[in-house]
């Protein structure tokens, strides 16, 4: 049996735009992920790092990159003040967003027309919530707390190689909270005709324990077709997303995506799973 284990990396970033799925109280992006920088002869390079990126950083067309406008770098060892930064959702419509995709076309086809302010994570207006219903997250979530998340992923093929099993174990997540796992496929970032990112399994959610631990398991049919196969759309990464509105969206990962109602906390930063091939 082909089987591999992967360590997930703490992050605040999904794709490169918006630069982060989390902002601070001033509306600037708190980026833990790839930073776009000016390279030689007008090129754009990227490196993994940490920085506060301005809310008005230049926005290129989808599939292209521009250097981020960095307000300040964040060191690997955060200061007490940086650890205490309170995390907020992105406002709607999403700033610095060039992703031409509706995440829940059956549920909310006009998602880009919705206008909402940014909210601290612990004050997101959960639909139909009443004070007496017992909201579980009542204290601010800080950058230091967010980056304590850790996770492992074991992937194995079925004996007939028609499917693959994904098994996750997590620590350090936000306690008593709803999460989902997204499967990123090779076509999802195609500049010409991107495919819609989807959940890794349905039901696609899990709830963390009071100590921030959790497990999640899913089996997908033929997630790793031979890349030479016409129309092959391989799973190339996974992203673990906190759901700020504490809602499950069925076959969608969220209504708004990219920091509006889902927020990347752990992921595989680069394309992975090359060792696997499955069949229809």
Q: Can you say how many angstroms the Cα of residue 85 is from the centroid of all Cα atoms in its chain?
A: 19
Answer yes or no: are the C-beta atoms of 265 and 149 closer than 8 Å.
yes
Average per-residue pLDDT for the chain: 96
Runs of H (alpha helix) within the chain: 80-83, 143-146
Q: Is it the case that residue 181 has pLDDT exceeding 90?
A: yes
| Confidence at residue 193, expressed as pLDDT on a 0 to 100 scale | 87
Q: What is the mean pLDDT of residues 135-158?
A: 98
Which tens digits make up the pLDDT trace of 108-132? 999 999 999 999 999 999 999 999 9
Instruction: Please classify residue 120 by burial: count the beta carbons closer than 10 Å to its beta carbon, then call 0-12 exposed, 13-18 middle and 19+ buried.
Output: middle
Q: What is the mean pLDDT of residues 225-250?
A: 96
Tell me which residue has tokens 């921030």.
212
Single out the residue of 15, 47, 53, 13 nearest to residue 32, CA to CA.
Answer: 13
Q: Is it the case that residue 243 has pLDDT exceeding 80?
A: yes
Which tens digits make up the pLDDT trace of 50-89? 999 999 999 999 999 999 999 999 999 999 999 999 999 9
Q: Is it the case that residue 1 has pLDDT exceeding 80?
A: no
Which tens digits make up the pLDDT trace of 244-260? 999 999 999 999 989 99
Answer yes or no: are the C-beta atoms of 224 and 233 closer than 8 Å.
no
Q: Which two tokens stand for residue 12?
A: 């605040």
What distances in angstroms separate CA 183 from CA 37, 69, 112, 187, one per listed residue?
27, 29, 22, 11
Which tens digits make up the pLDDT trace of 33-60? 999 999 999 899 999 999 999 999 999 9
Q: Which two tokens stand for residue 205?
A: 């959610």
């Amino acid at each position: 049996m082909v089987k591999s284990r992967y360590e997930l990396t703490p992050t605040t970033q999904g794709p490169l735009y918006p630069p982060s799925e989390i902002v601070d109280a001033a509306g600037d992006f708190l980026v833990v992920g790839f930073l776009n920088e000016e390279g030689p002869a007008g090129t754009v390079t990227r490196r993994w790092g940490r920085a506060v990126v301005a809310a008005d950083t230049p926005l290129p067309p989808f599939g292209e990159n521009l250097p981020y406008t960095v307000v300040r770098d964040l060191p690997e060892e955060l200061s007490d003040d940086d650890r205490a930064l309170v995390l907020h959702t992105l406002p709607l419509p999403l700033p610095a967003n060039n992703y031409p995709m509706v995440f829940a076309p059956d549920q909310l086809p006009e998602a880009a027309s919705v206008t909402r302010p940014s909210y601290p994570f612990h004050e997101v207006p959960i639909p139909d919530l009443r004070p007496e219903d017992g909201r579980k997250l009542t204290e601010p979530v800080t950058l230091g707390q967010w980056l304590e998340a850790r996770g492992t992923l074991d992937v194995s093929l079925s004996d007939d190689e028609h499917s693959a099993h994904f098994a996750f174990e997590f620590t350090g997540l936000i306690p008593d909270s709803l999460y989902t796992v997204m499967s990123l496929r090779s076509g999802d970032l195609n500049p010409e005709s991107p495919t819609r990112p989807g959940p890794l399994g349905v039901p696609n959610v899990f709830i963390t324990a009071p100590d921030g631990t959790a497990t999640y398991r899913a089996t997908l049919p033929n997630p790793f077709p031979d890349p030479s196969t016409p129309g092959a759309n391989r799973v190339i990464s996974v992203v673990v997303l906190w759901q700020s509105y504490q809602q499950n969206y069925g076959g969608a990962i969220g209504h708004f995506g990219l920091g509006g109602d889902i927020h990347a906390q752990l992921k595989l930063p680069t394309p992975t799973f090359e060792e696997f091939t499955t069949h229809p």
